[in-house]
Structure 1
Amino acid sequence: MARVTDATNVSSAAGRDDDSAGDEAPATATATAVDERSDGAARAGDESLVATPAPRTGSWFDDTWRRMTATPRLLRRTEWIMLGAVTLLAALLRLVGLSHPGSLVFDETFYVKDAWTLVNLGYEGTWPENANDSWAAGDPNTYSSDASYVVHPPFGKLVIGLGLLLFGAENPFAWRASVAIIGVAAVVLLWFVARKLLGSPVLATIGAGMLAIDGHAIVMSRVAILDGILMFFVLLGAYFVLLDRDDQRGQLQGRILAWRRTDGPPEGRGPDGLPLAPVPTPFWSTARAPTWPTLGPDWGPVLWARPWLLAAAVTFALASSVKWSGLYFLAAFCLYTIAVDALERRRQGVTFWLSAAVLKQGPASFVITIPAALAVYIASWSGWLATTGGFYRTWAEEAGHAWTGLLSWVPLPLQSLWHYSVEAYRFHTGLGADHPYQSSPLEWPFLIRPTAFSYTYSDPSPSCSGVETCVEAITSISNPLIWWSGTVAILFIAIMSFLQPRWQYGFVLVGFAAGYLPWMAYLQRQAVFHFYAIVYLPFMILAVLFVFQTIAGTPDSPRRLRTAGVAAIGGVVVLFALVSALFLPVWTGMLIPDWYWSLTHWLPGWK
């Protein structure tokens, strides 16, 4: 009986579509053949024939998985159950007790109040000194219409403002509702990204579960600041890039095959007139034509129908409208699509494959992505542009400020927006305020200095008794085992990209690099925090999944090795869950004894 679920096993290679026989069918067939041969040998008087049983492969997990996914319907049902379970877990950890604490925490003091004025005024207004006390008392309307100077684009605050409008700004749940829902959606999205990359719903569930129980992701979903929103839109844009990759490669293959069928050289077609399999072009041929005729076109087609690439550009623009660091992902993944195009053209035998991707497809991809991204970013400022009260809104209308010469045609509001952006960039790059929880990007891979969002000491109470001091803390620290595993896994796939290249490794490394490497240019800046790293946490988790896949082997591995690998992964996942259970009180602001809080200070910088 053909096995149709190999690609869904815990360690099956991404894109694996070869069907292999199940364990029971080969054993039965072998036994029957041996019996028949033995009977024949006995009749012939030959007693030298000895039956050799086939070695067993797979593990108990593979046996169970085959039963759970024996039909396409069972497979779909199992996948939905797994996705539903991890989504429920994420929702419980993010939504239960979301209104606690009932006061603004950390940078909520900026973003929640800015969000409320943004949805009411169209721009960020100013607040009196006691505004936080008013919020806690249920009065969110003490703001004035005077403009406030802010240094992040509006979209993330508009997302927070949507929750305020839906649930009421006086309700602490409303302050964080949008961010929490997006945090749950990020877990679901990571499941689909991992499913597509690795071809395994089991690994996808493990990866989504890791994000669901990671403290960094939990805190950034329970506190109304911008970085969790940024992470979601970056991950969504990356998923659209994955979908575009399939579409892009399919279009190239189809267009080049059609060319070879009709206009290509005759030697590229067999006796039946059908094109032969494409021969990859040598790497050096992109600089000069080979001395022999090639089977592919010189350049290949230009692809204009790229809906998923357009969707990715729009999504990365939304990420950039939350924080400008989203621009790095837009640039990195646009370059990634050019690389994918170049390698596919080479595989299809295109002569000048690199120059075709860069100089022919590259400008078309630019036209598809950049104007749309720019339009979306400007649209995110529509409230500021449609009013005149925002900070710097009328700058270009003041004497001597309007542009002259070639750029004089640019509308004055856009000139003012450009000036605002330049000033905000100067603020970011020159920010030198010292902070007790600042953390250099060089420390991020090692989790040296996570950010404590709040901590309050109090006397014992009925929920915290028998001790001298209790503490209520919220610290945006990742599950240490998950984070350190992610750091090691990134190094692993970086090395494996040279030893055993896979396109999936490149995708993960591009996402990680776009989130981390740009910070190397700002090492001199003081006010930098570890919670910025949330944006590339999903790519670290994806790297861990590839390590798990390598450890587990394949369903065809010897049974002892396969069982040991699957058991090892199961043990690691259990450790992840136990550590998350230990740290959960300091992620959600539970009242705990001071000694318990000390248990979570594994390194000096965690205090």
Structure 2
Amino acid sequence: MTQVTDTRPAASEAGAALSSPAPLRPTPDFGPTDWARGWAVTLFLTAIAGLTRFIMLNYPTDAKTPVFDEKHYAPQGWQVLNGGGIEDNPGYGLVVHPPIGKQMIAIGEALFGYNGWGWRFTAALSGTILVLLVIRIVRRMTRSTLIGAFAGILLIADGLTFVSSRLGMLDIFQALFVTAAFGCLIVDRDEMRMRMALVDVQGRLYDSAYGPRFGVRWWRFGAGVLLGLACGTKWSGAYWVIGFAALSLGFDLAARRGYRVARPWAGVAVRDLGPTIYSLMVLPVLIYLGSFWAWFAGETSYDRYAVGVRVGRGGDFSWVPDALRSLWYYGGEVLTFHRELTNSAGNHHPWESKPWTWPMGLRPMLYYYADNGVTGCGQNQCVKAVMAIGTPAIWWLAFPLLAWAMWRSIVRRDWRYAAILVGYGAGILPWFLELDRQMYFFYAVPLAPFLVMGVAMALGDILGHAPPRGRRVSGAPGWQGYFTPPSERQGLGLLAVCLYLALVIANFIWLWPILTAMPITPGSWHDHLWLPSWR
């Protein structure tokens, strides 16, 4: 075998610019290195997120009962807790979502009982962990704790995820699982490039035209488990199964091409396709089926014994176990329910929204409103409300950001923006295929983490690269000689970023009364409704 010379820079020179126009190997950069500072910033911002999510978590309620769609999920969580893991919905005759979200709610109810704290606890915990994950993901993608902090601040101040973290509904759980799966794939990407670099150093890179086998990939396995939990919360998790499988294969192809494997496409087909299908497609299906453990075990589960009663025992699929056929029939009933809940059938909701309004949050969701017997605003008449609004200072930048992300992905081949676009696109594009059905803005909760990731990275682009440190600057006295002063462009970038983050925080504070049901005057309520579509 021909001896391969290691042409990569030494570790101490990893950040230095390469003199060749096309380096023969990728820069050996496999993750951020400021471990202590990174965790200090992460935990500080996560604590702030937890404070905002948990404060007065049991307020408001509807005379100590759940509000809005909590009325479905809080009782179902209680049934899961006290009914052998099985939920039902006697008022409607059909449970229309998989069980994971209800099981999550049941954990809080087991700890605190059937009250606001109980049915909202795990949602608040999930919303807090979501902030931590976004900080760590962006930090890893950008190799910058500062830009990761930007993302955390933005998510803390996002009204949609804030409200979703304070209600016993399902969307915040799906957002958590999807974002965590995305983070696992980002770590997996770094680890596979580390393995490629090790094989390269060992001189085994060209043992096969397909490149090396990557071996066991536990982070990708974890992504598959998390995607299964997302599907077990809501069926729409399947959109990310498809998107993230394609993303993982794209990462593998880029790694093989980056290390000049002779046949990278064939290498992906031979080495990576099968394991990816197993980890990110088959495994989520198994996890999804496992989430129905109580349904399979129950004697009174809805449609548990549909075969032989509603479904014939014969046919082409008679070889499939009756339990799985019954679950398939039950899923078909759920699908029929959703398909018939359409505008053309006269099913209109006053707060319905379509996916083209989601990027800018043009039609928010009113979860709670009261104007009878409300006091505490300093006037004779007061109102209080909980409205899920994406903070305009963040969400109204969605279309410019998407354009910037596409330009960076296509023209500059920036994989980070491309990955964010995959996560964002999987959460919105499939909904355009069924525009006639009822939809709501809270379907966009899983979009928020990807939106703030993109905004944070754009802020990093505005900020520019930090001036190098540790090099002696000729002619500068004392310690000043070891620092390069920032340029005017960097100073202006820093000013712009600080002003923008201040604007986001101020916007969130302004919205706080209608995110948390604080008593306000009717005039103040109308002042908060900036757009006609918010009314």
Quote the offset at 1:84 in angstroms: 2.8
1:112 and 2:57 matched: no
SS at match of 1:453: strand
Per-residue Cα deviation, 1:281-334 (whole angstroms, up to 9, x for no partner): xxxxxxxxxxxxxxxx42223434111111100101101100011111111111
Give the equivalent residue in structure 1 for 2:24.
none
For 1:72-87, list aligned pairs within 5 A: 76-87=35-46
Per-residue Cα deviation, 1:77-121 (whole angstroms, up to 9, x for no partner): 543442233112211211111111133111000011111112222
For 1:431-470, list aligned pairs within 5 A: 431-432=341-342, 433-459=347-373, 461=375, 463-466=376-379, 468-470=380-382
1:583 and 2:511 matched: yes
Alignment partner for residue 101 of structure 1, among 34, 42, 60? 60
CA distance in 2, matches of 1:537, 1:494: 18
SS at match of 1:234: helix
CA distance in 1, matches of 2:366, 2:14: 47
Which deviates the most, 547-556 or 345-354? 345-354
Give the equivalent residue in structure 1 for 2:140.
196
CA contact (8 A) 2:227 2:280 kept: no
- Scaled by the length of structure 2, the TM-score of the pair is 0.86
Give the equivalent residue in structure 2 for 1:606.
534
Equivalent position amino acid for 1:465 in 2: G
CA distance in 2, matches of 1:113, 1:387: 18
Which deviates the most, 100-109 or 222-231? 100-109
Equivalent position amino acid for 1:108 in 2: E
Q: 1:399 to 1:205 in 2, by over 3 A?
A: closer
CA distance in 2, matches of 1:84, 1:368: 31
SS at match of 1:225: coil
Give the equivalent residue in structure 2 for 1:502.
414
For 1:505-520, list aligned pairs within 5 A: 505-520=417-432
SS at match of 2:341: coil
Give the equivalent residue in structure 2 for 1:479.
391
Q: 1:419 to 1:447 in 2, by over 3 A?
A: same
Quote the offset at 1:595 in angstroms: 1.0
SS at match of 2:384: strand
SS at match of 2:386: strand
CA contact (8 A) 2:42 2:136 kept: no
Alignment partner for residue 215 of structure 1, among 141, 159, 162? 159
For 1:130-279, list aligned pairs within 5 A: 148-169=93-114, 171-255=115-199, 258=202, 260=204
Give the equivalent residue in structure 2 for 1:521.
433
CA distance in 2, matches of 1:203, 1:375: 37
SS at match of 1:455: strand
Equivalent position amino acid for 1:152 in 2: H
Quote the offset at 1:460 in angstroms: 6.0
1:377 and 2:377 matched: no
CA contact (8 A) 1:256 1:300 kept: no
Give the equivalent residue in structure 2 for 1:411.
321
Per-residue Cα deviation, 1:422-464 (whole angstroms, up to 9, x for no partner): 2212222332221000001111123211110111113563x21
Q: 1:363 to 1:172 in 2, by over 3 A?
A: same
Equivalent position amino acid for 1:18 in 2: G
CA distance in 2, matches of 1:375, 1:357: 24
CA distance in 2, matches of 1:257, 1:520: 48
Equivalent position amino acid for 2:393 in 1: L
SS at match of 2:385: strand
1:393 and 2:304 matched: yes
CA contact (8 A) 1:440 1:529 kept: yes
**CA RMSD of superposed structures (Å):** 2.2
Alignment partner for residue 489 of structure 1, among 401, 413, 419? 401
Quote the offset at 1:465 in angstroms: 1.9
CA contact (8 A) 1:302 1:364 kept: no
Number of aligned residue pairs: give it. 484
CA distance in 2, matches of 1:365, 1:79: 31
Q: 1:369 to 1:82 in 2, by over 3 A?
A: closer
CA distance in 2, matches of 1:201, 1:592: 39
Give the equivalent residue in structure 2 for 1:350.
261
Alignment partner for residue 340 of structure 1, among 251, 258, 267? 251
Equivalent position amino acid for 2:313 in 1: A
CA distance in 2, matches of 1:76, 1:248: 21
Quote the offset at 1:390 in angstroms: 1.5
Q: 1:320 to 1:400 in 2, by over 3 A?
A: closer
Which deviates the most, 101-110 or 366-375? 366-375
Which deviates the most, 352-361 or 449-458? 352-361
| Structure 1, unaligned runs of 5 or more | 1-15, 21-71, 129-146, 265-296
CA contact (8 A) 1:487 1:540 kept: no
Which deviates the most, 323-332 or 113-122? 113-122
Equivalent position amino acid for 1:596 in 2: S
CA distance in 2, matches of 1:560, 1:257: 42
Quote the offset at 1:258 in angstroms: 4.6
1:546 and 2:478 matched: no
Which deviates the most, 198-207 or 225-234? 198-207
SS at match of 1:114: helix
Q: 1:363 to 1:214 in 2, by over 3 A?
A: same
1:125 and 2:81 matched: no
Equivalent position amino acid for 1:393 in 2: R
CA contact (8 A) 2:210 2:270 kept: no
CA distance in 2, matches of 1:427, 1:564: 54
Quote the offset at 1:257 in angstroms: 5.7
CA distance in 2, matches of 1:487, 1:341: 29
Which deviates the most, 489-498 or 313-322? 489-498
CA distance in 1, matches of 2:175, 2:43: 21
Quote the offset at 1:403 in angstroms: 4.8
Quote the offset at 1:125 in angstroms: 2.9
Q: 1:302 to 1:367 in 2, by over 3 A?
A: farther
Quote the offset at 1:499 in angstroms: 2.3
CA distance in 1, matches of 2:14, 2:507: 37
Per-residue Cα deviation, 1:385-417 (whole angstroms, up to 9, x for no partner): 100212111101427523534x32322111100
Per-residue Cα deviation, 1:268-290 (whole angstroms, up to 9, x for no partner): xxxxxxxxxxxxxxxxxxxxxxx
CA distance in 1, matches of 2:38, 2:273: 38
Give % identity.
Answer: 29
Equivalent position amino acid for 1:79 in 2: G
Per-residue Cα deviation, 1:208-251 (whole angstroms, up to 9, x for no partner): 11111211011000111000110000000001001111122233
Q: 1:419 to 1:544 in 2, by over 3 A?
A: same
Q: 1:367 to 1:88 in 2, by over 3 A?
A: closer
CA contact (8 A) 2:211 2:256 kept: yes
CA contact (8 A) 2:108 2:119 kept: yes
Give the equivalent residue in structure 1 for 2:6.
none
Which deviates the most, 354-363 or 542-551? 354-363
